[in-house]
Amino acid sequence: MMQNLLKITFLFLLLSAPAFANPILSIGTTLSLLKINDPDFQYTSNRDQLQLSSVSFALSERINKSPFIASISTNRFINRSVDREVVSKKNGVVFTNKTKIKADTLTIGYQIGRYIPNIGLTNVEVEKSLYYAGKFLKKKQQTALIPSIGLTFIANKDISINSTIIAPNKELNLDAGVVFGVNYNFKL
């Protein structure tokens, strides 16, 4: 229910962008480090939990000329799956796990000079496909709402750099997560 509400809010805000006074569109990419404790599989290396994300888009707006900034972002438009080797905890067999993560985030921040500390809520959809010797075995889909805290640094009028700490989540077996991003910003 809450996930559908977040999707509807995201779509409404995106479609109403022309009504914003001074919207800023950001296009960027992220590097994610996620500590996942899957009950059935383990990664063959810690390097497999490091992920270069697909391109993300964000729309931001200052709230009533105050220091508060609201932002919505998504990585749904340009996305790719990430292939990783995993080992079954039951029998030690090596499989290929193809994971695709779709994320829609609503963030509220407060600008202090060139810094914007923020809190966020992300609707995450994870699609995992399991393969053995190149043959498809099964697909698993999971969804969750994940809170986060972050800090954005405005390097100049065109570039911003952000870091985010993601809260643990039992549904996704996520023990911890950190995301670093670089964005190109321009006014609409």
Residue 164 and residue 182 in contact, taking contact as beta carbons nearer than 8 Å: no
Residue 184 and residue 27 in contact, taking contact as beta carbons nearer than 8 Å: yes
Cβ atoms within 10 Å of 137's Cβ, excluding its own: 11
Q: Which residues pair with 108 in a beta bridge?
A: 70, 119
pTM of this structure: 0.79
What pLDDT digit, counting tens, does each position of 142-156 carry?
A: 999 999 999 999 999
The pLDDT value given to residue 82: 82
- Given a cut of 50, is residue 39 above it in pLDDT? yes
Mean pLDDT of 121-125: 93
- Given a cut of 90, is residue 121 above it in pLDDT? yes
- CA–CA separation, 61 and 116 (whole Å): 13
- Given a cut of 60, is residue 17 above it in pLDDT? no
- Given a cut of 50, is residue 19 above it in pLDDT? no
- CA–CA separation, 91 and 27 (whole Å): 43
The pLDDT value given to residue 144: 94
The two three-digit tokens of residue 5, written as one number: 């509400």
Fold held by 2-15+28-187: Porin (2.40.160)
- Given a cut of 50, is residue 22 above it in pLDDT? yes
The two three-digit tokens of residue 156, written as one number: 């100049």
Annotated domain spans of the chain: 2-15+28-187
Q: Strands, DSSP E only, in the chain?
A: 24-36, 41-43, 50-52, 56-62, 68-74, 82-88, 94-110, 115-132, 135-154, 159-166, 174-187
Percent above pLDDT 90 for the chain: 43
Q: Which residues pair with 68 in a beta bridge?
A: 110
